[in-house]
């Protein structure tokens, strides 16, 4: 099968020739630039490594690498992916660990006295990477943490220029690859976790104590999201089968908030957007949420989520067998490869292979599964373990 057909059959719970694989098709299934560079060296590829996601310092996955590991997905992104920096005018850069990479020309961080890198916009620091670090921490306050005055507030809308980019880029990806296109387009800010960036404690207090304000803020953001969805759908037409949104509802031990609070405050607003997607397009909805979210999954399904990523099976209560048995007919699981905090970075190749095979045997039968890393492959992961992870999935065949 062609990659696009393989993914579509899987997310519709139909049989395919093999399990579809996501190699960097989203910003949550990517590979850290330093690990990617060493991976290419292991594969005998001598091409420049580009950092397309400066926030997480993720590498741009090149077609030869994606094809080598059977990647079936590709991401569609706006040109100024993070920090308002457009991915163009590539220039050489060196990561803290000595890895040579290319970065966008607009990436011009300042260096602090202790060697940390700081991104400054309009004279204000908005992100910092400590010396020796691997990614940036955001410093600016998002609307929830800032507790903005909603009178006159206008969330950002997709510009005609960005819509033209989506139209041209989606056409190019559709015509020049056989991959299923995944596009992230959630509300202007994640309705729960993202809104608290800059002062998450203050945002949690607001969430618990000021429901009227929270509903007004959500209504404002979702109204903008609906307009962005209309503009996006008009631009990409039928070329994008998967729409992704992100929001983290769990720690590795439990939920951030009760199921009751989620259903009262957050669910109705997300449902407005997801209802519009399902009513006006053929796109399936992929939610990225880390953590121990098992008790929340029935509500997510009711809300309109079709696919769940990254399926962090190492978190409390996220037992693979229970996930597949209870929700495998209603959800597509996207990720769920192995423990990417312990086994992938620190295990032996044989341990990686064994855990991946175990998870494939649980999640793959009956469709409804796309294989991918559990969140991004981090820096310092041995390239041989990355190869073992993807090759095990590539060689796995459904009976």
pTM of the full structure: 0.96
Note the pLDDT tens digit of each residue in 208-241. 999 999 999 999 999 999 999 999 999 999 999 9
Long-range contacts, 258-263 (Cβ 8 Å, 24+): 259/295, 259/296, 259/299, 261/207, 261/208, 262/192, 262/296, 262/299, 263/299
Give the integer Cα–Cα distance in Å for 186 and 168: 21
Mean pLDDT of the chain: 97
Note the pLDDT tens digit of each residue in 38-53. 999 999 999 999 999 9
Long-range contacts, 350-355 (Cβ 8 Å, 24+): 352/385, 352/388, 352/389, 352/392, 353/388, 353/392
Print the domain residue range for 333: 3-47+69-78+141-394
In percent, how much of the chain has pLDDT > 90?
98
Does residue 327 lie within any of the structural domains? yes
Do you find a cis peptide bond into 150, omega within 30 degrees of 0? Answer: no
Instruction: Answer whether residue 142 shows pLDDT above 60.
Output: yes
Give the integer Cα–Cα distance in Å for 397 and 281: 32
Which whole number is the average pLDDT over 146-165? 96
Note the pLDDT tens digit of each residue in 248-276. 999 999 999 999 999 999 999 999 999 99
Indicate which CATH number applies to the domain containing 154.
3.20.20.210
Does residue 123 lie within any of the structural domains? no
Are the CB atoms for 68 and 44 separated by under 8 Å? Answer: no
CA 197 to chain centre: 17
Does residue 54 lie within any of the structural domains? no
Which whole number is the average pLDDT over 11-26? 96
In this prediction, residue 397 has a pLDDT band, given cuts at 50, 70 and 90, of confident
In percent, how much of the chain has pLDDT > 70?
99
Which whole number is the average pLDDT over 363-375? 96
Which whole number is the average pLDDT over 284-305? 98
Which residues, 6+ apart, have CB-to-CB distance to 137 below 8 Å? 127, 128, 129
User: What's the DSSP call for residue 268?
Assistant: H
Are the CB atoms for 17 and 1 separated by under 8 Å? Answer: yes
Which whole number is the average pLDDT over 146-150? 95
Does residue 362 lie within any of the structural domains? yes
Question: What was the pLDDT predicted at 189?
Answer: 96
Angle at 65 between CA 60 and CA 68, to 5 degrees: 155
Give the integer Cα–Cα distance in Å for 342 and 73: 26
Instruction: Answer whether residue 63 shows pLDDT above 70.
Output: yes
Question: What was the pLDDT predicted at 193?
Answer: 96
Does residue 18 lie within any of the structural domains? yes
In this prediction, residue 399 has a pLDDT band, given cuts at 50, 70 and 90, of very low
Instruction: Answer whether residue 398 shows pLDDT above 80.
Output: no
Does residue 309 lie within any of the structural domains? yes
Give the number of domains in the chain.
Answer: 1
Are the CB atoms for 127 and 55 separated by under 8 Å? Answer: yes
Helix ranges (DSSP H) in 177-289: 200-209, 211-236, 259-261, 267-280
Angle at 383 between CA 381 and CA 387, to 5 degrees: 115
The owner of tokens 């903008």 is 224
Does residue 162 lie within any of the structural domains? yes
Does residue 177 lie within any of the structural domains? yes
Give the three-state DSSP class for 53: strand
């Amino acid at each position: 099968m062609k990659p696009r057909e393989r993914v579509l059959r899987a997310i519709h719970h139909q049989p395919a020739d093999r399990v579809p694989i996501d190699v960097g098709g989203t910003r949550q299934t990517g590979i850290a630039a330093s690990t990617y560079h060493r991976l290419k060296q292991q594969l005998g590829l001598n091409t420049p490594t580009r950092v397309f996601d400066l926030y997480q310092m993720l590498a741009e996955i090149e077609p030869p690498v994606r094809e080598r590991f059977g990647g079936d997905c590709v991401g569609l992104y706006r040109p100024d992916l993070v920090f308002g920096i457009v991915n163009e005018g590539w220039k050489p850069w060196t990561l803290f660990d000595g890895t040579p990479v290319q970065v966008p020309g607009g990436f011009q961080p300042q260096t602090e006295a202790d060697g940390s890198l700081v991104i400054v916009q309009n004279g204000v620091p908005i992100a910092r990477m400590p010396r020796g670090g691997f990614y940036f921490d955001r410093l600016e306050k998002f609307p929830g943490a800032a507790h903005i005055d909603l009178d006159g507030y206008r969330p950002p809308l997709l510009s005609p220029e960005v819509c033209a980019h989506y139209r041209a880029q989606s056409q190019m990806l559709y015509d020049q690859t056989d991959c299923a296109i995944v596009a992230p387009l959630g509300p202007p800010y994640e309705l729960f976790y993202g809104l608290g960036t800059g002062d998450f404690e203050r945002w949690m207090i607001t969430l618990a104590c000021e429901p009227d304000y929270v509903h007004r803020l959500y209504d404002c953001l979702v109204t903008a999201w609906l307009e962005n969805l209309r503009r996006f759908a008009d631009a990409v037409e039928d070329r994008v089968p998967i729409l992704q949104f992100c929001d983290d509802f769990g720690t590795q031990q439990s939920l951030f908030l009760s199921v009751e609070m989620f259903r009262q405050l957050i669910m109705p607003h997300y449902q407005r957007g997801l209802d519009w997607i399902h009513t006006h397009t053929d796109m399936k909805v992929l939610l990225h949420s880390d953590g121990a979210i098992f008790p929340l999954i029935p509500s997510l399904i009711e809300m309109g989520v079709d696919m769940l990523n990254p399926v962090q099976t190492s978190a409390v209560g996220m037992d693979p067998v229970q996930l597949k048995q209870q929700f495998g007919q209603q959800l597509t699981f996207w990720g769920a490869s192995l423990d990417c905090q312990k086994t992938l970075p620190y295990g032996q190749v044989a341990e990686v292979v064994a855990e991946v095979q175990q998870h494939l045997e649980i999640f793959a039968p009956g469709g409804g599964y796309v294989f991918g890393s559990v969140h991004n492959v981090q820096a310092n992961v041995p390239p041989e373990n990355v190869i073992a992870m993807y090759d095990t999935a590539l060689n796995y065949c459904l009976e």
